[in-house]
Amino acid sequence: MKRHSLLSTSTVNLVEVAETTSPDKLAVRRFLRNPTAVVGLVILLITVIVSVLAPWISPYSPTAIDLTAVRQPPSPEHWLGTDSTGRDVLSRLLAGGQISLLVGFSAALMAVVIGTLAGVAAGWFGGAIDTILSRLIDIMLSVPAVLVIIVLAGVIGPSVPMLILVIALLAWGSPARIARSVVLSLREEEFVQAARAFGSRTGFIFFRHLVPGVLPPIVVSATLLVAEAVLLESSLSFLGAGVQPPQSSWGNMLNEAQSLTVLSSMPWLWVPPGVMIAVTVLSAMAVGDGIRDAIDPRKNN
């Protein structure tokens, strides 16, 4: 009886250890132990929440013009000052976050969906399909996105939907390449071979076995794509090929900082959007690095 009791206790302990050391729990634990990633996630969440609530928490309308308060420094009435047409910089900063983050997250999501499906198809089918998709991926990765968007902005006019669509169509190559490499190894696994032997349809294998298998590295790629898209949108809006006034974005807010007078004596016009771009991009990259380290099986518990 005592021996049976000891065996039962050992079995329970082994089950508890297995449960507490499941891959998902270990990944979360590793992520939470990374202070840089946690801080980046908190900052990114705060930025998203504040941007979503911008219409309700902005002190003024971001398009309201007050010619009696042009380029005023920060004051109790305007915490971050006003721009060259008397618009409140804080209100425009909050509204600009909506556009910049909308472009960043939407373009990244679209690129990840397209890239994941294309990469899974290339890795699974192989042959001519793999060759065609691989060459297409190489072409997409070699196209300069800035030049393409500038040309399209001149032909059809700049707009937020155009930015999202073009950035996504030019950025899907990176997640596609990642998905393809993962599927090339997954398709030789026993559970995939068993599904094929039992006559499972291709669609079932795709979405039941292959897509979930590529999600962890794809999530890392998605966070980095958000950072790249926000930075690209800001650069294009600064150049005048992105978001157009009176609609606000962090990039076109920096457009006012093209004169030495503004750069030297009116830092409130360019420091806030510049800081927000840098903080958002660095936070997204920190989260991506944290997720990458958390899902790495070579890391210690």
Does residue 23 lie within any of the structural domains?
Answer: no
pLDDT at 17: 45
CATH of the domain at 275: 1.10.3720.10
Residue 82's φ and ψ, nearest 5 degrees, are: -130, 160
Look at the chain and report how many structural domains it folds into. Answer: 1
Q: How far is CA 35 from CA 30, 42, 199, in A?
A: 10, 11, 47
Task: Give residue for tokens 């042009």.
Answer: 70
Does residue 44 lie within any of the structural domains?
Answer: no
Does residue 24 lie within any of the structural domains?
Answer: no
pLDDT at 6: 42
pLDDT at 300: 54
One-letter identity of residue 166: V
Does residue 148 lie within any of the structural domains?
Answer: yes
pLDDT at 189: 74
From the list 58, 35, 72, the residue with the least C-alpha distance to 266 is 72
pLDDT at 225: 92
Does residue 11 lie within any of the structural domains?
Answer: no
Q: Which residues of the chain have pLDDT under 70?
A: 1-23, 296-301
pLDDT at 14: 41
Contact 93, 50 (CB under 8 A): no
Does residue 19 lie within any of the structural domains?
Answer: no
Contact 89, 75 (CB under 8 A): no
Does residue 14 lie within any of the structural domains?
Answer: no
Q: Can you give the residue range of the structural domain that contains 185?
A: 49-294
pLDDT at 1: 46
Does residue 181 lie within any of the structural domains?
Answer: yes
